[in-house]
């Protein structure tokens, strides 16, 4: 039986608690399916929720609250309606 890594344990905890990834206060974020791709220290990171990016620079962003995700989804819909 192989040993679990800290990354494995963190991924399991995030998924079990309904989080979609990690983010920090410097606009860095990663999803649970590609956790800590930078291989940097994750001590400044917080658990967060996946939501839409306001622009096409990123496929997604990690938000600190579900309310922030809801607002980002609303903003994205309004932006798409304005662009149509």
Residue 18, in any domain of the structure: yes
Q: Using one digit for the tens of pLDDT, what is the confidence trace for 5-33?
A: 989 999 999 999 999 999 998 878 999 99
Query: What's the Rg (C-alpha) of the chain?
Result: 15
pTM, two decimals, is 0.86
Residue 45, in any domain of the structure: yes
Percent of the chain with pLDDT over 70: 99
Position 83 scores a pLDDT of 82
Residue 44, in any domain of the structure: yes
Number of domains in the chain: 1
Residue 67, in any domain of the structure: yes
Residue 72, token pair as written in the block:
């980002």
Residue 36, in any domain of the structure: yes
Q: Using one digit for the tens of pLDDT, what is the confidence trace for 33-84?
A: 999 998 888 889 999 999 999 888 889 999 999 999 999 999 989 988 888 7
Residue 1, in any domain of the structure: no
Query: 21: domain range?
Result: 6-83
Residue 16, in any domain of the structure: yes
Position 1 scores a pLDDT of 60
């Amino acid at each position: 039986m192989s040993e679990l890594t800290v990354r494995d344990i963190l991924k399991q905890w995030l998924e079990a608690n309904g989080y979609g990834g990690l983010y920090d206060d410097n606009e860095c974020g990663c999803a649970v399916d590609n956790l800590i791709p930078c291989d940097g220290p994750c001590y400044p990171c917080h658990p967060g929720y996946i939501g839409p990016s306001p622009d096409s620079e990123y496929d997604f962003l990690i938000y600190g609250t579900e309310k922030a995700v809801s607002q980002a989804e609303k903003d994205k819909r309004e932006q798409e309606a304005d662009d149509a």
